[in-house]
């Protein structure tokens, strides 16, 4: 049977070539249709596709379609499939897609793609299995040594060294990723060794010599030449722009790589053995170094213990008695609501019992700082570390007193927000922050291998490549680098996406008063603002309907708000006068239509407003409330917006790989009447105070 298939495919090579083109096309389609396209995967995609096009399924692979080769080819198929799914497409994305879409067509498409990927992998494997002649064996040994020594450094040594060196900043052990990195190293090493071993002698020598030079250069770079750059927790610019340093560094790399080629010319036949020895020594050096690193690593590398954890199990639980419900829509500016009201006035009819405040300011223009300001009383202080800043707010007498008073008033306080501080700071404030008697290991249900891979491989390139390439790689680091890899069953951050929250809004109602806060993505850019705006209104409507159906709408205080208004563009220095949404329906409120107020309120009034609506004694102890101001009130509000001031030092992250933040200062605006009065103000030309950041607070 196999012989007949081989004879047919050999005779009809048009079929094998068309099949190759189909396989190439479908691999691209998978990334386009289902998965996020990631630029750093381009090289691997191109190499695999070129190999498939030129020598995969057609002719040369078909010639090896024999019984004695099939078993070997099936073994080689496994790492090829691994590379395709984990490194090119992203297996995590595949599973998420599979879990999120349950139609027969979706499942059929995934099955078809898998079969086509399997055919592509098997065809490549057939071609790549090594020949039995002596030359093929020599090529394979040399290519494996030079490839694996490079791949081990990039995929295993530097990522694990980075992880262990910053273990205090990671909330997970090595268990979720260590086997993945090992299998990634083996897969990439085997497949690319086989590919290189197939090259003609002249090209084979060029590639193996270049890889040897690359390996030596990488070792020299990360061990001796990175002194001009920060390493992990140390400050300094991530890029090197001094022409002298760039030229010297580049020349050293050129000399190393050129020296390998020159020595190969001089040594001739002996050069192959020397290349093998160098590759083996470098591989052994890094293997031994990694083993020592793992042996000397602290215990938390192998077993992360958690004592305080965030419990999301009550995110859809409200009270059948009294509720104070706060839903925050991230980045929802008042201008969106005003525009939507003018275009769709009927959309606000169900909100007729609400009062909308049209002249609201937030103290800060970013989520993390703003949310911690109004929930945790973390007011402006640019002279302390981020941890001290959080402690000053969440452990202050006012904050502790507020949440104690809420509890004494019979309120269970639960918060579901992805931007509040680590759970230990909220313990005793929010009731859904729980504590084990002793720290213990938590079982995780999701670890984002693809994001982990992207971040840590970028670190590998950053630490091992010459300055010219390093400068480009540093651009891969962003605010999301080294964040949000893992979710535990007990330690989750709750649903935050509008669509997800809307689909799960099937509330349960229990006895006892509840202060409920949840933070959603809202219409934070970048997004389809029109679609997300509709989702926000649908969430509002559904909440109101469920409260009415349960008979607790009248006894509930409901606040729909934003943490800040819309963001200005990064290159824009002048203020855009953003104003966060704030709409409130107090318990018992009945209106003929929605009320609008231009009173000068601020998110600084949040804690006092909650205290008034909860019936706490002496609510003024917890700050001003929105009820302290009317449209004729005179009040000066302060707004801090992040900017970049080239005359001030750059700012770097605390912990993990240090990278420069796009902001390094605050511009301080005073709003006396309306936020409109600061719109267009340029801190560099107008009379605006600029305050430097000590650390990044955004």
Domains and CATH numbers, the chain: 2-306 (no CATH), 311-448+484-635 (3.40.720.10)
What is the distance between the alpha carbons of residues 374 and 580, in angstroms, rounded to a whole number? 13
- Beta bridge partner(s), residue 513: 411
- Decide if 576 contacts 643 (C-beta within 8 A): no
The H or E element spanning position 47 is helix 42-55
Which among 649, 670, 669, 673 has a CA at the least distance from the CA of 661?
649
Closest to 336 measured CA to CA, from 557, 536, 495 = 536
Give the total residue count for the chain. 698
The C-alpha atoms of residue 264 and residue 268 are separated, in whole angstroms, by 6
pLDDT averaged per 10 residues in sequence order, the chain, 698 residues:
58 64 67 48 55 53 68 84 72 45 64 80 79 81 94 93 84 87 91 88 91 94 77 52 86 94 87 90 94 91 84 92 96 89 86 95 92 93 85 94 97 89 88 87 77 83 86 68 73 81 93 96 85 92 96 97 84 84 96 94 97 95 96 94 87 55 87 91 90 80
Q: Which residues pair with 665 in a beta bridge?
A: 643, 692
The pLDDT value recorded for residue 656 is: 43
Tokens describing residue 437: 């008697």
Burial of 84 (0-12, 13-18, 19+ CB in 10 A): buried
**pLDDT score recorded for residue 561:** 97
* Alpha carbon distance 130, 149 (integer Å): 20
Q: What is the pLDDT of residue 93?
A: 47
Does the CA dihedral 317-319-323-324 come out positive or negative?
negative
pLDDT at position 351: 94
Q: In this structure, how many other beta carbons lie within 10 angstroms of the beta carbon of residue 100? A: 9
Q: Parallel, antiparallel, or unpaired: how do β-strands 513-520 and 323-329 relate? A: parallel
Give residues with Cβ within 8 angstroms of 466, minimum separation 6.
217, 221, 249, 250, 253
Which helix (H) or strand (E) segment is 500 a member of?
A: helix 498-503
- CB-based contact 443:427 (threshold 8 Å): no
What pLDDT, on a 0 to 100 scale, did the predictor assign at position 568?
A: 74
Residue 484: how many CB atoms within 10 A of its CB? 10
Residue with tokens 């104690």: 404
CA distance linking residue 57 with residue 127, whole number of Å: 8
Q: Which residues contact 577 (CB under 8 A, 6 or more apart)?
A: 675, 676, 677, 678, 679, 680
Cα–Cα distance measured from residue 326 to residue 339, given in angstroms and rounded to the nearest whole number: 23
Cβ count within 10 A of residue 128 = 25
Alpha-carbon distance of 146 to 210, in angstroms, equals 9
Structure confidence at residue 56 (pLDDT): 43
Question: How many angstroms separate the CA atoms of 72 and 588, rounded?
Answer: 75
Can you tell me which residue has the tokens 């019984």? 67
Q: How far apart are CA 662 and CA 219, in angstroms?
A: 31
Q: Which residues contact 44 (CB under 8 A, 6 or more apart)?
A: 83, 87, 88
In this structure, the dihedral spanned by the alpha carbons of residues 107, 113, 118 and 121, taken in order and rounded to 10 degrees, is -150
Q: Say if pTM beats, i.e. exceeds, 0.75.
A: no
CB-count burial class (<10 Å; 0-12, 13-18, 19+) for 119: middle
Distance of alpha carbon 107 from alpha carbon 112, whole angstroms? 9
Tokens 């273990």, located at residue: 167
Q: What is the pLDDT of residue 95?
A: 45
Per residue in 615-647, is it b (16+ CB within 10 Å) or e — as a string?
ebeebeebbbbbebbeeeeeeebebbbbbbbee
C-alpha R_g of the chain: 30
Assigned token pair, 520:
């959603």
pLDDT for the residue numbered 17: 65
For helices 367-376 and 606-614, give the axis angle rounded to 10 degrees.
40
pLDDT of residue 233: 40
CB proximity list for 183: less than 8 A, separation 6 or greater: 79, 82
d(CA 135, CA 140): 9
**Sign of the alpha-carbon dihedral angle for 143, 144, 147, 150:** negative
Q: In this structure, how many other beta carbons lie within 10 angstroms of the beta carbon of residue 311?
A: 18
Furthest CA-CA distance within the chain: 94
Do the strands 637-643 and 665-671 form a parallel or antiparallel pair, or are they unpaired? antiparallel
Orientation of helix 201-220 relative to helix 243-267, angle to 10°: 140
Contact 555, 323 (CB under 8 A): yes
- Pair 628, 619: CB distance under 8 Å: no
Which phi and psi (to 5°) does residue 268 adopt?
Answer: 55, -115
Cα–Cα distance, 637 to 645 (Å, whole number): 23
Q: Taking the CB of residue 236, how many other CB atoms lie within 10 A of it?
A: 14
CA distances from 521 to 177, 278, 332, 550, 603 (A): 29, 53, 9, 27, 18
pLDDT of residue 159: 92
31 phi/psi in degrees, rounded to 5: -70, -40
């Amino acid at each position: 049977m196999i012989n007949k298939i081989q004879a047919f495919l050999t005779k009809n090579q048009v079929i094998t070539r068309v099949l190759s083109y189909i396989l190439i096309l479908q691999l691209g389609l998978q990334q386009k249709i289902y998965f996020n396209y990631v630029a750093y995967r381009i090289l691997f995609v191109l190499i695999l596709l070129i190999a498939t096009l030129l020598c995969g399924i057609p002719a040369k692979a078909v010639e090896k379609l024999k019984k004695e080769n099939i078993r070997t080819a099936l073994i080689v198929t496994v790492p090829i499939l691994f590379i395709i799914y984990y490194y090119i497409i992203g297996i995590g994305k595949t599973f998420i897609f599979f879990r999120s879409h349950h139609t027969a067509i979706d499942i059929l498409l995934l099955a078809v793609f898998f079969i086509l990927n399997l055919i592509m992998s098997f065809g490549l494997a057939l071609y790549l299995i090594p020949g039995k002649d002596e030359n093929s064996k020599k090529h394979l040994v040399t290519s494996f040594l030079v490839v694996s020594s490079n791949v081990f450094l990039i995929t295993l040594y530097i990522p694990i060294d980075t992880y262990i060196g910053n273990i205090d900043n990671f909330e997970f052990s090595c268990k979720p990723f260590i086997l993945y990195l090992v299998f990634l190293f083996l897969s990439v090493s085997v497949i690319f060794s086989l590919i290189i071993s197939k090259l003609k002698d002249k090209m084979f020598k060029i590639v193996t010599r270049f890889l040897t030079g690359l390996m030596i250069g990488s070792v020299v770079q990360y061990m001796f030449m990175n002194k001009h750059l920060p390493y992990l927790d140390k400050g300094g610019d991530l890029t090197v722009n001094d022409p002298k340093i760039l030229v010297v560094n580049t020349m050293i790399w050129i000399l190393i790589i050129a020296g390998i080629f020159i020595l190969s010319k001089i040594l001739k036949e002996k050069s192959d053995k020397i290349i093998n020895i160098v590759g083996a020594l470098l591989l052994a050096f890094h293997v031994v170094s990694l083993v020592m690193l793992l042996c000397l690593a602290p215990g938390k590398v192998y077993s992360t213990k958690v004592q305080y954890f965030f419990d999301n199990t009550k995110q859809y639980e409200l009270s059948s008695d009294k509720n104070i419900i706060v839903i925050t829509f991230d980045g929802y500016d008042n201008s969106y609501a005003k525009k939507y009201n003018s275009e769709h006035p009927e959309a606000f009819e169900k909100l007729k019992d609400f009062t909308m405040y049209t002249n609201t300011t937030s103290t800060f223009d970013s989520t993390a700082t703003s949310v911690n300001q109004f929930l945790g009383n973390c007011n402006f202080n640019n002279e302390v570390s981020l941890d001290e800043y959080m402690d000053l707010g969440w452990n202050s007498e006012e904050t502790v007193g507020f949440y104690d008073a809420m509890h004494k008033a019979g309120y269970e306080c639960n918060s579901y927000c992805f931007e509040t501080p680590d759970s230990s700071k909220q313990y005793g404030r929010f009731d859904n922050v729980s504590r084990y008697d002793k720290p213990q290991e938590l079982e995780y249900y999701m670890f984002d291998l693809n994001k982990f891979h992207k971040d840590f491989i970028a670190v590998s390139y950053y630490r091992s490549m010459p300055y010219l390439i390093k400068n480009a790689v540093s651009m891969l680091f962003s605010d999301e680098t080294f964040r949000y890899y893992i979710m535990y069953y007990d330690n989750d951050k709750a649903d935050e996406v509008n669509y997800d929250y809307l689909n799960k809004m099937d509330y349960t109602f229990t006895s006892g008063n509840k202060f409920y806060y949840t933070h959603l993505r809202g219409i934070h850019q970048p997004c389809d603002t029109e679609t997300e705006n509709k989702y926000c209104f649908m969430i509002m409507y559904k909440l109101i309907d469920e409260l009415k159906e349960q008979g607790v709408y009248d006894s509930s205080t409901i606040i729909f708000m934003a943490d800040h208004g819309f963001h200005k563009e990064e290159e824009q220095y002048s203020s855009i006068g953003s104003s966060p949404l704030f709409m409130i329906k107090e318990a018992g409120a009945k209106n003929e239509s929605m009320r609008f107020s231009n009173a000068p309120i601020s998110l600084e009034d949040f804690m006092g407003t909650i205290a008034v609506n909860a019936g706490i004694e002496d609510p003024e102890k917890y700050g001003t409330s929105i009820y302290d101001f009317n449209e004729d009130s005179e009040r000066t509000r302060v707004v801090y917006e992040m900017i970049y001031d080239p005359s001030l030092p750059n700012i770097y992250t605390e912990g993990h790989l240090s990278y420069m933040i796009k902001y390094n200062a605050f511009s301080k605006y005073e709003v006396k009447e309306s936020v409109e009065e600061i719109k267009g103000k340029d801190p560099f030309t107008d009379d605006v105070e600029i305050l430097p950041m000590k650390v990044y607070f955004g």
